Amino acid sequence: MKTMTIKESIALMRQAENITFLTGAGVSTPSGIPDYRSLQGVYQGMTAPEYLLSHTALIQEPAKFYEFVQLLYHPDAKPNVIHQKMAAFEKRKPTRIVTQNIDGLHSKAGSQQLVEFHGSLYHCHCRKCRLPVSWQDYLISDVHENCGGQIRLEVVLYEEGFQEAVIENALQAVASADLIVIVGTTFQVHPFCDLINGKTQQKVLAINQTPLGHPLIDYFYQGAAEELFKQV
Ligand SMILES: [Zn+2]
């Protein structure tokens, strides 16, 4: 793994003909979205967040689940320079994004070729009648006015499986790129971190505050992604 400067990292992205970004929480922290894995995040002082965001909690303790999920919404958050520059890449060359983030900010920034790997807080439906429900309505009540069913967000919860199509789209995005850029994630959450395991000729650049342990990373820039993307 080669350590890169900002200039060298940007040169790699400029030279690439087909880029796929794999993004994590670090891309959204400059927009004021707390990193839910860090100690400063919304999990601080709460017991077993994995439980609170599990399918079991959704079914067996809906009130507790709903109370916790509401904390994850930051509807006023705005895309930052990282989201904006990634969206700008898409105007110039084939660019895809696969994100772990559920905050909808890549979409807000205008990215079209986007796979929201873990789903989105801003897509909800009723578990009983299956109709889509707006997130605004979900934030008012988790009971569907029409049918009395429970509304849920379309986010992959602990204990839940991933949709085939989502995994397919993500793998397709990785396969089509000549440069894969991992941004703002320690790249440890499965199956997200397995997405590059089948890579062939693609180069992999990682941009993160702390080093990544993944064996398939070719280039690494250590530092704040926003500082780098400001200069793109
Ligand atoms: Zn309903």
The rounded mean pLDDT for the chain is 93
Rounded Cα gap, residues 214 and 150, in angstroms = 40
The answer to whether the beta carbons of residues 149 and 171 sit under 8 Å apart is no
pLDDT (0 to 100) of residue 34: 81
End-to-end alpha-carbon separation of the chain, Å?
Answer: 22
* Distance between Cα 143 and ligand 1 center (Å): 8
Average pLDDT (184-201) is 92
Q: What is the pLDDT of residues 81-134, one digit of tens each?
A: 999 999 999 999 999 999 999 999 999 999 999 999 999 999 999 999 999 999
Q: Which residues make Cβ contacts (< 8 Å) with residue 188, sequence separation at least 6?
A: 213
Average pLDDT (153-172) is 96
pLDDT (0 to 100) of residue 50: 81
- Asked whether the predicted pLDDT for residue 41 surpasses 60, the reply is no
Average pLDDT (167-178) is 96
- Asked whether the predicted pLDDT for residue 225 surpasses 70, the reply is yes
Q: Residue 186: count other Cβ atoms within 10 Å of its Cβ.
A: 19
* Distance between Cα 37 and ligand 1 center (Å): 32
* Distance between Cα 144 and ligand 1 center (Å): 5
Average pLDDT (35-49) is 59
Q: Which residues make Cβ contacts (< 8 Å) with residue 160, sequence separation at least 6?
A: 55
Bridge partners for 181 per DSSP: 21, 205
The answer to whether the beta carbons of residues 96 and 20 sit under 8 Å apart is yes
The answer to whether the beta carbons of residues 142 and 124 sit under 8 Å apart is no
pLDDT (0 to 100) of residue 43: 57
- Asked whether the predicted pLDDT for residue 67 surpasses 80, the reply is yes
Give the residue numbers annotated as catalytic, written as ranges: 118
Bridge partners for 195 per DSSP: none
Rounded Cα gap, residues 215 and 191, in angstroms = 15
DSSP for residue 206: E
CA atoms within 13 A on the CB side of 102: 22
- The percent helix, strand, coil of the chain (3-state, each to 5) is 35, 20, 45
CA R_g for the chain: 18
pLDDT (0 to 100) of residue 42: 54
Reported as a pLDDT band with limits 50, 70 and 90, residue 39 is very low
Residues with CB under 5 A from ligand 1 (ion): 126, 128-129, 144, 147, 149
Q: Is 203 exposed, middle or buried (0-12, 13-18, 19+ CB in 10 A)?
A: middle
Ordered domains of the chain (ranges, CATH): 1-33+79-118+161-232 (3.40.50.1220)
